[in-house]
C-alpha cells in the first residue's frame, strides 16, 4: 500500500496553521525518516513560500502539486504547469474536475473541453517527470450525479498516461457505505486507484480502510488529520490500522514505533494543541481510570487495550481520580518507588484522600506531580524544602496606558534561615513566581532551569456561590528542559490556588533531585 502525505500542502490549509519554510523542511525530514514514499510539498508558483521550499530541497520522495491547465491555453504555454516542471520533482500531482456540476458552474466550459484540459495537462507533464498522479476532484459526488461523465474523466486521464487515478471526496460528505459501492463498481475497469478523502462527516479514516479492501493502491492524508475545514484522513490512524489490524505493510519494519513522536512533532511545529485522546498516539489513548479496568489490565492488558501501546511508540497510563480503586494507587506507588501491598492501611488512606480532594475540586489525572507529592506526604516520605511564612501581592494599573504592574513580596524559611524578597511581574502570578524563585535559588540552584510551559484556570461549578466567588482550579505545566510535569492547586482565591500549584511544581523538581 502506497502512503501519500499531503500535510505540507493540504494540511497547511488548516485554520490556525502557518508553516514557515523551515517548518516544512523539518516536517519533510521526519516524514522521509519514517518511510513515507510520497510527500506533497506544496504548489510551486502559487506563493513565494512554496517557491522557496522547492528551491531548497531535491528529494525522490518530494511531490509537486498543481492544477490542470487553464481553459483557452495550450499546456506548454500554461505558467502553472511550467512551474510544476521547473520544481524538478520526479512526481507531480494535478487535480482536475470530475463532477459535471463543477465543469459547468465553476469552470463555465463545455464538458468535452474539460476532458481535453485533463488530457493535455497530463500528456504534457508525462514528458517531463517519471510519474503523474491525477486527483479527480469531487469524484464521488460527481459519480453519484453523473457516473458516465465521471468515468470519462478517469479514462481520459488514464489514456493520457496518469500513473494513479486518485478519487477525491473533496467535500467530505460521502459516507463509507457509498464509497464501498462505488469502488466495487470501478473494479471492472482495472484502474490503478488512490483515495483522497476529507473528514467533514468524520468518516475519512473508515472510508480509507474500506478502500484498502476494494483494491485501492494509494491512500492520501495528513498527519493528525489536519487540513481545511474538518481536515483530511488521519494518516496516523490509517497507517496503524493498515499494519496492525489488516496486515497491510506500508512503513519499513520497525518504523511504526515512530508514529507517536511524528504526531507530536507535527502538532508542535504547527502550534496546535495536542489532541490527548487521539487514537493510537494520544497521551490518553491507553489511559485507564476506572478501578475495575485497572485491576483487569494489571492481570492481562488485552482486557481493555486493543493493541500493545509500545507498537506505535506510546505507553500505558494509569490515572488516579475519584473513580480509582486500589489497583490504580498500587500501580502509581510502585512507580514512585514506594512499596505497599493491597492490605496496607496507607493505601486506603491515599484512596480516601484522593476522593475527598477531588470532591473539593482537585483533579490528579493530568497533574501527577501533585499526586506524587501527596503520596509522599501520606506515606511519611515527604521532606519539606521550605516553609512559607507569608506573601503579599499588589497590582497597580495605569488607566492611561492600560498596563498592569504587579509586585510580590514573600517570606520563607529554609532550615534556620529566613528570606524576605520582592519581585516584579507582568501579572500577580508571574510576580509571585519570580519572588519565590528569587528566594529559593540561593539554596537550590537547580531550580534555575525550571520554566513554566502552560497555565490554565477553570472556575468550578459550585451551587449557591456567585461565579466571582466560586472555587477555581489552577493547572500548571513545567519543564526543566528534559522532563515535563504538571501540578494543580484549588482555592476560592486564584492567587492562593496558583501558589499551591507553583509550590508543587518547584518541590517536585527538588524531590526528584533528592532521590
Distance from C-alpha of 351 to C-alpha of 344, rounded to nearest angstrom:
12
Asked, for residue 25, whether it belongs to a domain, the answer is: yes
Distance from C-alpha of 321 to C-alpha of 288, rounded to nearest angstrom:
10
Instruction: Count structural domains, the chain.
Output: 1
Residue with cell 486500589: 326
Query: What pTM value is reported for the model?
Result: 0.72
| Predicted local distance difference test score (pLDDT) of residue 382 | 85
| Predicted local distance difference test score (pLDDT) of residue 365 | 72
Domain CATH for 57: 3.20.20.70
The H or E element containing residue 220 is strand 218-221
Q: Which domain holds residue 215?
A: 2-251
CB of 69 closer than 8 Å to CB of 117: yes
Asked, for residue 495, whether it belongs to a domain, the answer is: no
Distance from C-alpha of 426 to C-alpha of 83, rounded to nearest angstrom:
49
Digit-by-digit pLDDT tens for the chain (515 residues) are 999 999 999 999 998 899 999 999 999 999 999 999 999 999 998 889 999 999 999 899 999 999 999 999 999 999 999 999 999 999 999 999 999 999 999 999 999 999 999 999 999 999 999 999 999 999 999 999 999 999 999 999 999 999 999 999 999 999 999 999 999 999 999 999 999 999 999 999 999 999 999 999 999 999 999 999 999 999 999 999 999 999 999 999 999 999 999 998 998 888 787 788 899 998 788 877 777 776 787 788 888 889 999 999 988 876 665 455 666 777 777 777 888 877 888 888 888 888 888 888 888 877 889 989 988 898 888 888 999 999 999 988 777 766 778 999 999 999 999 999 999 988 888 899 999 999 999 999 999 999 988 888 888 865 444 555 678 999 999 999 889 899 999 999 999 999 999 999 999 999 887 64
Distance from C-alpha of 306 to C-alpha of 489, rounded to nearest angstrom:
35
Asked, for residue 376, whether it belongs to a domain, the answer is: no
Q: What is the DSSP letter of 38?
A: E
Asked, for residue 61, whether it belongs to a domain, the answer is: yes
Asked, for residue 427, whether it belongs to a domain, the answer is: no
CB of 462 closer than 8 Å to CB of 491: no
DSSP E strands in 430-492: the ranges are: 451-459, 472-479, 484-491
Asked, for residue 266, whether it belongs to a domain, the answer is: no
| Predicted local distance difference test score (pLDDT) of residue 463 | 47
Asked, for residue 32, whether it belongs to a domain, the answer is: yes
Q: Exposed e or buried b for every residue in 390-420, given b needs 16+ CB within 10 A? A: ebebeeeeeeeeeeeebbbbbbbebeeeebe
Asked, for residue 207, whether it belongs to a domain, the answer is: yes
As a 3-state breakdown, the chain gives helix, strand, coil percent values, each rounded to 5, of 45, 20, 35
How much is the CA Rg of the chain, to the nearest whole Å?
Answer: 29
Which ranges of 223-363 does DSSP label H, i.e. alpha helix?
235-240, 259-269, 291-299, 326-335, 345-360
428-440 and 494-514 are packed helices; what angle lies between their axes, rounded to 10 degrees?
Answer: 30
Amino acid at each position: 500500500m502506497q502512503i501519500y502525505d499531503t500535510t505540507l500542502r493540504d494540511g497547511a490549509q488548516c485554520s490556525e496553521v502557518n508553516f514557515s519554510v523551515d517548518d516544512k523542511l523539518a516536517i519533510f525530514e521526519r516524514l522521509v525518516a519514517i518511510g513515507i514514499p510520497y510527500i506533497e510539498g506544496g504548489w510551486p508558483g502559487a506563493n513565494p513560500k512554496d517557491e522557496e521550499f522547492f528551491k531548497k530541497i531535491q528529494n525522490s520522495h518530494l511531490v509537486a502539486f498543481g492544477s490542470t491547465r487553464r481553459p483557452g491555453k495550450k499546456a506548454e504555454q500554461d505558467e502553472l504547469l511550467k512551474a510544476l516542471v521547473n520544481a524538478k520533482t520526479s512526481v507531480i500531482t494535478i487535480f482536475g474536475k470530475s463532477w459535471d456540476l463543477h465543469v459547468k458552474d465553476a469552470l463555465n466550459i463545455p464538458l468535452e473541453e474539460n476532458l481535453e484540459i485533463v488530457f493535455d495537462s497530463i500528456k504534457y507533464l508525462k514528458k517531463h517527470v517519471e510519474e503523474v498522479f491525477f486527483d479527480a476532484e469531487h469524484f464521488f459526488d460527481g459519480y453519484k450525479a453523473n457516473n458516465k461523465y465521471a468515468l470519462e474523466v478517469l479514462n481520459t486521464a488514464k489514456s493520457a498516461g496518469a500513473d494513479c487515478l486518485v478519487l477525491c471526496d473533496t467535500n467530505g460528505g460521502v459516507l463509507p457505505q457509498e464509497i464501498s459501492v462505488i469502488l466495487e463498481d470501478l473494479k471492472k475497469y482495472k484502474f490503478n486507484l488512490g483515495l483522497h478523502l476529507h473528514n467533514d462527516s468524520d468518516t475519512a479514516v473508515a472510508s480509507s480502510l474500506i478502500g484498502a479492501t476494494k483494491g485501492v493502491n494509494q491512500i492520501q492524508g495528513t498527519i493528525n488529520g489536519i487540513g481545511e475545514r474538518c481536515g483530511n484522513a488521519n494518516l496516523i490512524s490509517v497507517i496503524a490500522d493498515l499494519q496492525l489490524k489488516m496486515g497491510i505493510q506500508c512503513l519499513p519494519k520497525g518504523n511504526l514505533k515512530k508514529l507517536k513522536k511524528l504526531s507530536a512533532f507535527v502538532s508542535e511545529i504547527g502550534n496546535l494543541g495536542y489532541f490527548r485522546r487521539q487514537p493510537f498516539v494520544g497521551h490518553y489513548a491507553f489511559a485507564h481510570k476506572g478501578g475495575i479496568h485497572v485491576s483487569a489490565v494489571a492481570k492481562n492488558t488485552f482486557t481493555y487495550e486493543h493493541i500493545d501501546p509500545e507498537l506505535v511508540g506510546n505507553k500505558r497510563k494509569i490515572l488516579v481520580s475519584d473513580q480509582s480503586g486500589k489497583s490504580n494507587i498500587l500501580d502509581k506507588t510502585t512507580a514512585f518507588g514506594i512499596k505497599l501491598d493491597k492490605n496496607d492501611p496507607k493505601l486506603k488512606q491515599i484512596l480516601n484522600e484522593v476522593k475527598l480532594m477531588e470532591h473539593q475540586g482537585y483533579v490528579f489525572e493530568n497533574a501527577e506531580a501533585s499526586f506524587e507529592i501527596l503520596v509522599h506526604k501520606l506515606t511519611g516520605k515527604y521532606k519539606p524544602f521550605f516553609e512559607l511564612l507569608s506573601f503579599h501581592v499588589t497590582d497597580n494599573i495605569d488607566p492611561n496606558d492600560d498596563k498592569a504592574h504587579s509586585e510580590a513580596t514573600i517570606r520563607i524559611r529554609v532550615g534556620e534561615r529566613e528570606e524576605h524578597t520582592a519581585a516584579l511581574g507582568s501579572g500577580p502570578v508571574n510576580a509571585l513566581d519570580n519572588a519565590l524563585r528569587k528566594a529559593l535559588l540561593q539554596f537550590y540552584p537547580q531550580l534555575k532551569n525550571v520554566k513554566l510551559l502552560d497555565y490554565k484556570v477553570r472556575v468550578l461549578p459550585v451551587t449557591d456561590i456567585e461565579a466571582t466567588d466560586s472555587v477555581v482550579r489552577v493547572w500548571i505545566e513545567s519543564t526543566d528542559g528534559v522532563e515535563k510535569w504538571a501540578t494543580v492547586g484549588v482555592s476560592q482565591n486564584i492567587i492562593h490556588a496558583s501558589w499551591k500549584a507553583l509550590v508543587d511544581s518547584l518541590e517536585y523538581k527538588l524531590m526528584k533531585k533528592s532521590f
